Amino acid sequence: MAAQAGPVPATRRAVADGGRPPFTRGSVLAVTFLFVCTIYFLLPAWWLVVSSTKGPSTLYSSEGFWFSHFDLLSNLTGLFQYDGGVYVRWLLNTVLYAGVGAVCATLLAGAAGFALAKYKFRGRELVFSFILGGVLVPGTALALPLYLLMSKVNLTNTYWSVLLPSVVSPFGVYLARVYATSSVPDELLEAARVDGAGEGRIFATVVLRVMSPALVTMFLFQFVAIWNNFFLPLVMLSNTNLYPVTLGLYSWNNQYGQAPQLVSYVVLGSLISVVPLVVAFLSLQRFWRSGLTAGSVKT
């Protein structure tokens, strides 16, 4: 006699019938947890949006999470006109530091990671171990040695004093090596060499395209890190015209006692400084996709 099948669970029956499975206790708890986390992360952003519309007299006297006395236009006018429009210069400085630094760091880390992954040479693992050690060193610990090094070559209080340290990304090298090892086929490189391509051309035309998801990830990590960098510019720069937006807003915040309107400008300036980061993430997320090498090698 054939054994009789036991009762089919309700979840399996619902899926078999083409319907949605019923909510379980675990799914409800998971959704609730994610909802609480979402609210937790969005509350500071909401406060920033609301507070940027308030003047200095109502910023602390009104409800913190709701609008009151809409002064956004006057805040915008004051922000971009205060001290000769220095805020615009700070934004442009930050775009320069973050944009150029992130691009150079991404290309340098991508080339180093690819070389460590695909070329065999003596001392390769030792070099990679030193690079991994650099990942463990916090950036704040390097600020003072970098300042002493830059002062020796007379580069302090210049754009170079912030740009040059920004082009080094040990984590980017690590990520590039891991990605190149698993995603760049040796057969693809050999096929390019057979076609007469040099190593530089292979990296520029083949490897960069194959590694684009990892390169975009490295770029965004480095772009955000440089954009939010505060301690290195604080140590290196004394000329306010060279400040990034983080250091500039900090200097305004310290002058709150002398100019009360600066507190509103700092809040609004912080909100505006977040916009390029959001734009960068939204515009580059389409590169995060897999399968770029599918079908690139004939078998």
The string of pLDDT tens digits covering residues 242-271 is 999 999 999 998 887 777 788 889 999 999
Amino acid at 283: S
Q: What is the pLDDT of residue 293?
A: 46
Q: How many residues does the chain have?
A: 299
Determine the Cα–Cα distance for residues 121 and 261; give it in Å rounded to an integer: 61
Q: What is the pLDDT of residue 19?
A: 53
- Dump pLDDT digits (tens) for 139-162: 888 888 999 999 999 999 999 999
Domain at 177, CATH number: 1.10.3720.10
Q: What is the pLDDT of residue 291?
A: 44
Residue 5 within a domain: no
Q: What is the pLDDT of residue 2?
A: 47
Residue 243 within a domain: yes
Q: What is the pLDDT of residue 195?
A: 87
- ∠ Cα 151 153 156 (to 5°): 40
Residue 223 within a domain: yes
**Within the chain, how many helices (H) and strands (E) appear?**
15, 0
Q: What is the pLDDT of residue 7?
A: 53
Residue 293 within a domain: no
CA within 13 Å, CB half, 67: 6
- Domain count for the chain: 1
- ∠ Cα 240 78 163 (to 5°): 30
Residue 69 within a domain: no
Contacts of 277-286 spanning 24+ positions with Cβ under 8 A: 277/223, 277/224, 277/227, 280/220, 280/223, 281/220, 284/216, 284/219, 284/220
Determine the Cα–Cα distance for residues 264 and 246; give it in Å rounded to an integer: 15
Indicate the pTM of the whole model.
0.82
Residue 18 within a domain: no
pLDDT below 50 — which residues of the chain?
1-3, 8, 11, 14-15, 290-299
Amino acid at 74: S
Determine the Cα–Cα distance for residues 182 and 120; give it in Å rounded to an integer: 16
Residue 146 within a domain: yes
Which of 248, 239, 243, 229 is CA-nearest to residue 140? 229
Question: How distant, in Å, are the alpha carbons of 29, 139, 171, 211, 241 from that of 288?
Answer: 30, 27, 18, 10, 37
- Per-residue exposure over 208-242, b if at least 16 CB sit within 10 Å of its own CB, e if not: bebbbbbbbbbbbbbbebbbebeebbbbbbeeeeb
Determine the Cα–Cα distance for residues 208 and 45; give it in Å rounded to an integer: 35
Q: What is the pLDDT of residue 138?
A: 84
Q: What is the pLDDT of residue 12?
A: 53
Residue 56 within a domain: no
- DSSP 8-class letter at 137: S
Q: Which two tokens stand for residue 132?
A: 């991994």
Domain that holds residue 179: 82-287
Q: What is the pLDDT of residue 174?
A: 93
Q: Which two tokens stand for residue 43?
A: 């509350």
